[in-house]
Structure 1
């Protein structure tokens, strides 16, 4: 049965699903964040063209870790890749119809990866060879761009008939990015090192890729716990925040262990160190089963300032996090005075300035190591109080927390460490002790002025 607007129920359902997907892809803390792919034709050849492909990360804090990005597309016709510099196709495909010079890749839908840093100089180009690692725009802008060159054959070599590939796929690593169709734009400009001369690409197309955790179908990878100086209770991460401690696709009694108890001697066994046993569990066991835990502790309350301690704990037994970052949304971050052992940068959004990014100091704590005694980093944060400051009703705890661009699971609002009633009473008494003498003094002066 159709709606009053004349839209059928299936069409309406499809529109709602599409709308939900778009909402999931929207990041309120980085609404303009995306990765832009540029396809620049820089010269024509006898049977095609040479192109420069650039991957530009315009996301403020989300970056691509090792094992790095992969880029795929589908050719419009029967194009081949004769050669590449700065990257390589993962598979050559069937090139049996060629004689003499064999193409680098004959696949209709190739997959491209970055080269390793130790690649020969003859295979390198600018902005390549970082094993696919791509930094975020604000944390390390110099390494937020990757590029490579390729020679395309069996293609048109005229501007009025040449088209770029279609159906671009960006993996970083694995799915998660949705890419738009290529859009023709003005030709890119390329400047000489002295910036005194510029050349222009013959043709340029842009592709915009946006990240969505829903598209990635990824379980949360981090969670947040709370504590405060005024309460002995630690509020833990929610139970099963990231996953549960067994593989639900198998019977529990036959399931592969997904975690290891902290007291287990498994890591110290000879088989673990030499690789003779089965693959080790991925992380230490916990009620939340999150690879990364972030703890926010309200440490001290001064007259004009207050202090919090931010700790990031890596529970993974397999993965280090190089160039990690944490994004926190909190109403007092506009008045953050110091982060004592982290770098930090404010992330304003229009008139709102309640978000900041924290990351490690280079060569000191910019790598978050695997689980163990050194698998954590921490810093204390000093805030100047704003007029809305209070320790009541969880105001001192963050509203959102991201680790490496993935949103972390927060405890439910009703579970904040509560203020004891005695503490509230002491706050009231302290207010009276400070304000009452001033008021009495003012009243006294007014009374005396009447005489």
Structure 2
């Protein structure tokens, strides 16, 4: 019985670890990346408090695009939201027990969204009103923060009577983030605009949310194709990288590029940026919404050049603020990047083999939906390191590529374009040459 209990314990521990591994959110390229939610109580009211809630996107290259984040939780007691600025609850809930003035939200589990740009100033607050869009920390730290103010009632009016909400959830805009419990931390300190006075809030708790691609979407969202100047073969994305064509059982899962009914399928109703609509991709062998093509373009004496093209096959999605993360050993000798912004990502301080690329603002930071404008491209110029550089065995191609933080499907390594076969050099020994000459002289002597 004792052995059985021990084995059962080992199995439970192993199963728990395996489950954590599958759904875990650890990213080796961004080990400290997370979204931190800070809840600062700044003043007490008659039946509750006023608070400022701030979302910090500390992820290097993963951002939140339209239709934006949705933050939810479950109240610990019977709290209500009296007023909000810079954000709003998606539902009011049942407020029938209030006779004089109605709260903003009476739901036990409210869901909060950001306000849209252009709302009246008296409804705004600092770092609000971006439609829920958060930039990644590397691309633009100033727009990687979102905030709203909230007035909570029926909650208690002291540090000992207030309870931290439970079951925090973050959708950005779909599932993908797992949030830990709220933890009471040292109260935040605020500095006045003139920098001469520091004030302290009454109470602060933090919530940390981590991203998991497995939770976000069970299937990949992008794939990689390869080509080179020294080989005519174009290595396409692996078949069914993100799914397979299944129009027989699921009509409308994809559409041909030259289909006359394409305009009717992509209706104006699907262009609403505030709603989540299923992707409609162009019919391809890989069925991915996004393809990244890496082309080894030119070879110089001291340099070599690569062309990178990102193509959008999704007819219902514009990718705003997109970014690309590429791993390749020659990034420590990157000389110039054309028409993209660039910053190295070095999770291991002495190894510079990972680059983050993104569009130039107001130029190509928007990857348009599938069609004639649905692609962006750039070229990278590398200096050759004679100790490592080679075109052999696929060395010139990337090891891994991420698009908007999601790992893209790579072709199998044995399919990479290799250098063309070279005819072997003739290998004649001195003995062979000598015997040949002697045979020729003997032949001439006997026939003289």
Q: What TM-score results when the alignment is normalised by the length of structure 1?
A: 0.88
Per the alignment, residue 13 of structure 2 pairs with: 12
Give the C-alpha shift of residue 5 in structure 1: 5.0
Q: Which whole-Å deviations, capped at 9, do the CAs of 1:256-290 have from their partners, x for residues lacking one?
A: 22111122112356x866779xx997121100000
Q: Distance in 2 between matches of 1:170 and 1:87?
A: 15
Q: Distance in 1 between matches of 2:248 and 2:419?
A: 44
From the superposition, tell whether residues 157 and 272 of structure 1 become closer, same or farther in structure 2 (CA, over 3 Å). closer
- Does residue 356 (structure 1) correspond to residue 351 (structure 2)? The answer is no
Give the C-alpha shift of residue 312 in structure 1: 0.5
Per the alignment, residue 326 of structure 1 pairs with: 324
| Aligned positions, number | 416
- Does residue 258 (structure 1) correspond to residue 257 (structure 2)? The answer is no
Alignment of 1:212-251 (within 5 A): 212-246=212-246
1:25 is paired with a residue whose SS is: coil
From the superposition, tell whether residues 412 and 7 of structure 1 become closer, same or farther in structure 2 (CA, over 3 Å). same
- Does residue 199 (structure 1) correspond to residue 199 (structure 2)? The answer is yes
Q: Which whole-Å deviations, capped at 9, do the CAs of 1:116-167 have from their partners, x for residues lacking one?
A: 1122221111111111000000101110000001011001111123222111
Per the alignment, residue 77 of structure 1 pairs with: 77
Are the counterparts in 2 of residues 182 and 206 from structure 1 also a CA contact under 8 Å? yes
Per the alignment, residue 448 of structure 1 pairs with: none
Are the counterparts in 2 of residues 39 and 164 from structure 1 also a CA contact under 8 Å? no
Are the counterparts in 2 of residues 272 and 280 from structure 1 also a CA contact under 8 Å? no
Per the alignment, residue 370 of structure 2 pairs with: 371
From the superposition, tell whether residues 167 and 273 of structure 1 become closer, same or farther in structure 2 (CA, over 3 Å). closer
Q: Which whole-Å deviations, capped at 9, do the CAs of 1:82-115 have from their partners, x for residues lacking one?
A: 1101000000000101110111101110000011
From the superposition, tell whether residues 160 and 196 of structure 1 become closer, same or farther in structure 2 (CA, over 3 Å). same
Q: What RMSD over aligned residues (CA atoms) do the two structures have, in Å?
A: 2.1
Q: Which whole-Å deviations, capped at 9, do the CAs of 1:177-199 have from their partners, x for residues lacking one?
A: 01111112111122222222221
Alignment of 1:262-341 (within 5 A): 262-268=257-263, 282-341=280-339
Q: Unaligned regions of 5+ residues in structure 2, if any?
A: 271-276, 426-448
Alignment of 1:160-199 (within 5 A): 160-199=160-199
| Bigger-Rg structure (1/2) | 2
Per the alignment, residue 274 of structure 2 pairs with: none
Q: Unaligned regions of 5+ residues in structure 1, if any?
A: 247-251, 426-451
2:190 is paired with a residue whose SS is: strand
Q: Distance in 2 between matches of 1:31 and 1:281?
A: 30
Q: Distance in 1 between matches of 2:279 and 2:15?
A: 40
Q: Which whole-Å deviations, capped at 9, do the CAs of 1:349-374 have from their partners, x for residues lacking one?
A: 12221111111111111111111111
Are the counterparts in 2 of residues 260 and 281 from structure 1 also a CA contact under 8 Å? no
Per the alignment, residue 133 of structure 1 pairs with: 133
Per the alignment, residue 410 of structure 1 pairs with: 410
Alignment of 1:97-176 (within 5 A): 97-176=97-176
Q: Distance in 2 between matches of 1:126 and 1:272?
A: 37
Q: Distance in 1 between matches of 2:344 and 2:278?
A: 40
Q: Which whole-Å deviations, capped at 9, do the CAs of 1:40-85 have from their partners, x for residues lacking one?
A: 1111111111111000000001000000000000010111101101
Q: Distance in 2 between matches of 1:423 and 1:175?
A: 55
1:20 is paired with a residue whose SS is: helix
Q: What TM-score results when the alignment is normalised by the length of structure 2?
A: 0.89
